């Protein structure tokens, strides 16, 4: 039996754990296979390979792509596993990654104008990737005791409901992202549909080449899971699951290993397909 958590984030995007810390915690949680799926960014495959050997755990590289369907205004997060050529999908994700960094710097400047003692240098120490996220800035303020918590009233008043730090991000359409993942030799999976309630988009995604759907996730309710099983069966999709762990930088994800799926072996698609490539 194989215990898997196929949705984790690290300091290379908006997670608080390094890939090595994630590997250590995954081993402690009794996991056999994990996937690091940072936002908008290809994984460091060489690093993941060295961690696999060091900790005797299978670590898949992946990416989580934010998208928005313009016809319905619904968001959809697409996970890409086993991508051999990240060029096509990064053509669509690089502008998003750039906008995340650009908006974070604007938010940082506004906070400084409001008298909050945080510098870019301090915030950059909390991340390892090319983009600064607002979570890194907030974490500095939290550690200094300037804000009472990471996800409470202060955050909502600043970043939500027309707050002074609320900013828009331009996401690509989901269908081109699904096709780009496939073009790069990867396997596209619809992440946490219960979170975005985007079930009506699944038939279109199937036509575009989506192969799987995330069943186990903190935001998928029992009712959502029933819907997901139905859609998976009707459309021939495999199901995956994961904690969507961001460490201390998110209140919506679980902890590593809390939300997992157990498989009898690796013969299910896509794990067997990806692992055979190695």
Please, what are the domains in the chain? 2-94+170-276 (3.20.20.140)
Residue 272 is predicted with a pLDDT of 72
Reported confidence tier of residue 49, pLDDT bands at 50, 70, 90: very high
Give the tokens for residue 184: 């790069």
CA 9-12-18 angle, to 5 degrees, is 70
The CA distance from 174 to 193, in Å, is 13
Q: Is the pLDDT of residue 173 over 90?
A: yes
Question: Which of 129-138, 171-180, 237-246, 261-270 shows the lowest per-residue confidence on average (mean pLDDT)?
Answer: 261-270
How many angstroms separate the CA atoms of 228 and 223, rounded? 9
Average pLDDT, the chain: 94
Lowest mean pLDDT, pick from 75-79, 80-84, 273-277: 273-277
Over range 50-64, report the average pLDDT. Answer: 95
Asked if pLDDT for residue 171 goes beyond 70, the answer is yes
* Res. 269 pLDDT band, cuts 50 70 90: low
The band of 31, judged by pLDDT with boundaries at 50, 70 and 90, is: very high
Mean pLDDT score, 130-158: 95
Continuous segment of H or E residues that includes residue 66: strand 58-69
Sole residue written with tokens 């906070």 = 111
**pLDDT score, position 278:** 61
Question: Residue 175 pLDDT more than 90?
Answer: yes
* Pick from 58, 14, 4: nearest CA to 247: 14
Answer whether residue 245 shows pLDDT above 90: yes
pLDDT category at 218 given cuts 50, 70, 90 is very high
pLDDT score for 251: 81
Above pLDDT 70, what percent of the chain? Answer: 97
Lowest mean pLDDT across 50-64, 121-135, 160-174, 242-256? 242-256
Q: Do 12 and 273 meet the contact criterion of CB atoms below 8 Å apart?
A: no
Rounded mean pLDDT, 252-272: 81
pLDDT for residue 248 is more than 80: yes
Who contacts 142 (Cβ-Cβ below 8 Å, separation ≥6)? 149, 150
- What pLDDT band is residue 153 in, cutting at 50, 70 and 90? very high
- The answer to whether 220 and 242 have CB atoms below 8 angstroms apart is no
């Amino acid at each position: 039996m194989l215990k898997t958590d196929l949705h984790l984030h690290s300091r290379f995007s908006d997670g608080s754990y390094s890939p090595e810390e994630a590997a250590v915690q995954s081993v402690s949680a009794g996991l056999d296979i994990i996937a690091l799926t940072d936002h908008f960014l290809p994984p460091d495959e060489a690093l993941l390979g060295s961690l696999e050997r060091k900790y005797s755990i299978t670590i898949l590289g992946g990416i989580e792509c934010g998208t928005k369907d313009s016809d319905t205004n619904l968001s959809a997060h697409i996970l890409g596993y086993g991508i051999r050529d990240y060029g096509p999908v990064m053509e669509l994700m690089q502008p998003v990654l750039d906008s995340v960094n650009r908006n974070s710097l604007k938010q940082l400047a506004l906070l400084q104008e409001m008298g909050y003692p945080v510098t870019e240098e301090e915030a950059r120490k909390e991340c390892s990737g090319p983009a600064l996220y607002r979570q890194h800035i907030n974490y500095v303020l939290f550690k200094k005791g300037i804000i009472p918590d990471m996800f409470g009233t202060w955050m909502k008043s600043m970043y939500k409901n027309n707050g002074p730090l609320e900013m828009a991000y331009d996401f690509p359409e989901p269908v081109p992202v699904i096709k780009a993942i496939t073009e790069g030799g990867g396997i596209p999976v619809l992440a946490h549909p219960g979170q975005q309630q985007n079930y009506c988009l699944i038939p279109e995604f199937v036509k575009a080449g989506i192969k799987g759907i995330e069943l186990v996730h903190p935001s998928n309710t029992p009712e959502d899971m029933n819907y997901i099983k139905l859609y998976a069966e009707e459309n021939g999709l495999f199901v995956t699951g994961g904690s969507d762990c961001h460490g201390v930088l998110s209140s919506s994800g679980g902890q590593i290993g809390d939300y997992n799926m157990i498989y009898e072996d690796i013969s299910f698609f896509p794990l067997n397909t990806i692992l055979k490539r190695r």
